[in-house]
Chains A and B, each alone.
Chain A
Amino acid sequence: MTLLQLVINGAALGAAYALVALGFVLILNATNAVNFAQGDLVVAGGFVAVALAGFLPVPGILLLPLVLILTFVLGLAFSLLAYFPLRDRPPVAVFISTIALGIVFQNGFNAGFGPDPRATPPLFAGGFWQLDGLTIEKQGAAIVVTAAVLIVAQHLVFTRTQFGRRLRATAQDRDMARALGVRVTWMIALTFGWAAALAGTAGLLLSNKFFVTPTDGTAYMILAYIAVTIGGWGRIAGAVAGAVLIAVFEVVVSAYLSYTVAIAALYGAVLLVLFFRPQGLFGDVIQRRA
């Protein structure tokens, strides 16, 4: 198997991880809080898609807008339950509340959908293309394209619209944004909603290829955390790059050495990054709020 083939395989995984990491870093920037339930919101997206597919037997691409909307609403509700009541408390209170709500989600999924692994419909179709000895899975390609479209769309919204500027202003300095007339509370709620929608989309994308079970969220959360640590805590682009990097790293090292080595090397790399470049590979400085 060539290196290029491995990179292609890792790209689909990395693209979906990037959506998770993106939501993770968005909430961190907007609230200075780490959302430890971001992985459970991925699972929520998967199960929302499973539920929708139960009565709407259509390709995944047609379920995508519905998953986006429903997980966006879920994100808003999440902020009301896990963030706003505790926002004036020490940050650890929010960390714990997100963990607690994540566990509530896990058990809720278990009660609602059962413990069996479930799969969502493919975005367009299953199967693969053969190209000069390379195998490109259609679902994998669709994942990369969908994630890329969402990431670019988010970039454009953040940099080219008034709404995006307000969001960034809220993320950079909440008090100053409020003084300038930005409805900070609303912006934070929208950030939670958007982060949940990104995670939910990742859930839809991953659940066809890799299935979904109620307890998958923890693994996604850890990967998102690693991606953001490697990419840089304050950087959206860094989170995307970090996610793609760890997915490709995992696949390539697994193929040439072993999975055990890949996992150990990944965590070892995180330690090295923390020692020598705590702001992440692509970060400038760690943002601190006044």
Chain B
Amino acid sequence: MSSSLKRLFSAISTRIIAAFLCCAAFAVPPADAADANIPVLVPITGFLSLEGTSQRNGAVLALENPPAEISVTYDVADTSTAPEVAVNALERALADGDATAVAASMFGPQMLAMIPLADRHGVPLVTVSGTAKITELGSPWVFRFFPGDTVAKVAQVDYAVNELGITKPAMIYQTTAYGQSGAAHIGENLRRLGIAPVLEEGLDVKVKDMTPVLAKARAAGADALLLQLHSGPTALLVRAAAAGNLGLPIVAGSAMHQPSTAALLDPGELDGVCAESASSPISGGTPEMDAWLERYRAAFGTEPDAFALGQYDGTMMVLSAIAAGARSPAEVRDYLAGNSHDGLAMTYRSDGSGNMAHSAIIVCYDGETRIPRVVKVFDNVTGALD
């Protein structure tokens, strides 16, 4: 055979083999390839847009960085703050039947409306909603990656009483469901420790002037303030307390740990203020957390909070489930319900009802910077990790 004929045969053979391999590649998917579709349905507008944006960012950061063997698609839909908007968004997301799991709204009323739909379709909802009731309805499809009040308020009250030695607290809370739920658990934990608040005051979210309630706290002889307020009102109260030289320790709810709340205040105004939270990513602490912090800043140009990290951890656990072989929504649910996950914020494990987070931290500001220091960690408060 002449050399030119050999080259011709060789070229033809190469093309045939290449064409075969190419067809084979399209015709037969790799046995272990995993495709996941995880819609993100969270409130990006409305009064929860601050927290909802954090939640969205956390989910997106996880979905953009899945384990190598997983291919993920996702769409982000704004649920605003109306339950019917969230339900419609979930209906649309589940219409194709290819959703593996859903990053679902942190807004409790929306979650309560979404749960029956998730039950009907059989798709896991992964959330950072704090509303206690969402895991008390008996749905096997709800997974909460944020400590509820049953965990967070234990940390807040125990720190105030056992570390700061307060005996006459004033409890100031929002008259929203969030505020009232937190206030109930603060009250419960105070009673557990044999303490009664000298003042309990509920504030509408529209209240701007905080001086009257501070005057009442002073007049009642309070030795500390325990807060359960949203972000803006927390900043208003802390600022008013500093301006009025109140001089009482403040142990706030998780809104205080949010960088956007601290950004509203001078570092000096924050001196001595503490807060409970699931985590404080900007405080750093581990190389993994620092690396995540940098990735978050690079992706979104803003500072993360515990909601972002909680949703990131939850979404990563879903992706871990898929990487471990879970393919259907039911298999993902079984994985979430039966395994633990070492997230960046904490170790997560279901307590049997879908409550995955059982740890909380206390952070305090030193008056020099807006970056708080983690002063105490309350691990495994509910005993679910044993």
Give A223's nearest chain B residue, CB to CB: B206
Tell me the A127-168 residues at the B interface (CB within 8 Å). Answer: 128, 135, 137
| Chain A 219-256: CB-based contact to B (< 8 A → 1; otherwise 0) | 10000000000000000000000000000001110110
Q: How far is the CA of A9 from the CA of B215 in the complex (A)?
A: 12
Cα separation A108 to B17 with both chains bound (whole Å): 56
Q: Determine the distance from Cα of A13 to Cα of B235 in the docked complex, in whole angstroms.
A: 17
A117 and B53: CB pair below 8 A?
no
B212→A219 contact, CB < 8 A: no
What distance in Å separates the Cβ of A147 from its nearest Cβ neighbour in chain B?
Answer: 15
Q: Decide if A258 touches B302 in the complex (CB within 8 Å).
A: no
Residue of B nearest to A253 (CB): B212
Are A6 and B202 neighbours in the complex by a CB distance under 8 Å? no
A1 CB, nearest partner CB in chain B, Å? 4
Identify which of residues 245-259 in chain B touch chain A, using a CB-to-CB cut-off of 8 Å. Answer: none
Task: Tell whether, in the assembled complex, residue B243 and residue A137 are in contact, meaning their CB atoms are under 8 Å apart.
Answer: yes
Q: Please classify how large the interface on chain A is, using the bins under 10, 10 to 19, 20 to 34, 35 or more.
A: 20 to 34
Question: Any chain B CB within 8 A of the CB of A84?
Answer: no
| B209 close to A251 (CB less than 8 A) | yes
The answer for the CA separation of A270 and B206 in the assembled complex, in Å, is 18
B72 in the interface, Cβ–Cβ < 8 Å? no
A260 lies within 8 A of chain B by Cβ: yes
A-chain residues with CB within 8 Å of residue B284 when the two chains form the complex: none
Interface residues as binary, B191-217 with A (CB distance below 8 Å gives 1, 0 otherwise) = 000000000011110111101110110
Q: Is the CB of B45 within 8 A of A251?
A: no
Distance to closest chain B CB from A81 (angstroms): 20
The answer to whether B235 touches A1, judged by C-beta atoms less than 8 angstroms apart, is no
- Please determine whether A255 and B212 come into contact, CB atoms closer than 8 angstroms: yes
* Bound: A210/B207 CA distance, A: 10
Number of B positions contacting A (CB below 8 A): 35
Contacts of B202 in A (CB 8 A): 258-260
Q: Determine the chain B residues whose CB is within 8 A of the CB of A252 once the complex forms.
A: 212
Q: Are A219 and B236 in contact (CB under 8 A)?
A: no
Q: How many A-B residue pairs have CB under 8 A?
A: 87
Contact indicator A255/B231 (Cβ below 8 Å): no
Q: B138 within 8 Å of A by Cβ?
A: no
A214 beta carbon closer than 8 Å to chain B: yes
B167 part of interface (Cβ distance < 8 Å): no
- Report if A198 contacts B (CB, 8 A): no
**Most chain A CB neighbours (cut-off 10 Å) among B46, B49, B213, B260:** B49
CA distance A250 to B243 in the complex (A): 20
B50 interface residue (CB < 8 Å to A) = yes
B29 CB to nearest chain A CB (Å): 39
Q: Does B8 contact A (CB under 8 A)?
A: no
A106 within 8 A of B: yes
Whether A255 and B260, one on each chain, are in contact in the complex, defined by CB atoms closer than 8 angstroms, is no
CB-CB < 8 A to B211: which residues of A? 1, 6, 9, 251, 255
Give the distance in Å from the alpha carbon of A268 to the alpha carbon of B231 in the complex.
Answer: 29
Partner of B263, one of A10, A116, A206, A258: A116
Q: Does B37 contact A (CB under 8 A)?
A: no
User: Are B49 and A215 in touch, CB under 8 angstroms?
Assistant: yes
Q: Which of B209, B216, B244, B302 contacts A114 (CB 8 A)?
A: B302
Report chain B residues within 8 Å CB of A1: 211-212, 215, 218-219
Tell me the bound Cα distance from A219 to B205 in angstroms.
10
Once the chains bind, are B207 and A215 in contact (CB under 8 Å)?
Answer: no
B109 within 8 A of A: no
Interface residues of B in 23-59 (CB under 8 A from A): 44-47, 49-50, 52-53
Q: Which residues of A contact B207 (CB under 8 A)?
A: 254, 259
Complex Cα distance A254/B175, Å? Answer: 14
Q: Which residues of A contact B208 (CB under 8 A)?
A: 13, 206, 209-210
Residue of B nearest to A212 (CB): B232
B175 x A260 contact (CB < 8 A): yes
Return the 6 tightest CB-CB contacts between A and B, nearest first.
Answer: A115-B49, A255-B212, A1-B215, A116-B260, A115-B50, A254-B212
Listed in ascending order, the chain A residues whose CB lies under 8 Å from chain B are 1, 6, 9-10, 13, 106-107, 110, 114-119, 128, 135, 137, 206, 209-211, 213-215, 219, 250-252, 254-255, 258-260, 263
23 cross-chain CB contacts under 8 A = A1-B215, A1-B218, A6-B211, A6-B212, A106-B45, A110-B49, A115-B50, A116-B263, A210-B236, A211-B236, A211-B264, A213-B47, A213-B50, A213-B232, A215-B49, A251-B212, A254-B212, A255-B212, A258-B202, A259-B201, A259-B202, A259-B207, A260-B202
Contacts A9-B209, A258-B202 known; list 4 others, CB within 8 Å: A9-B212, A116-B50, A254-B213, A258-B201
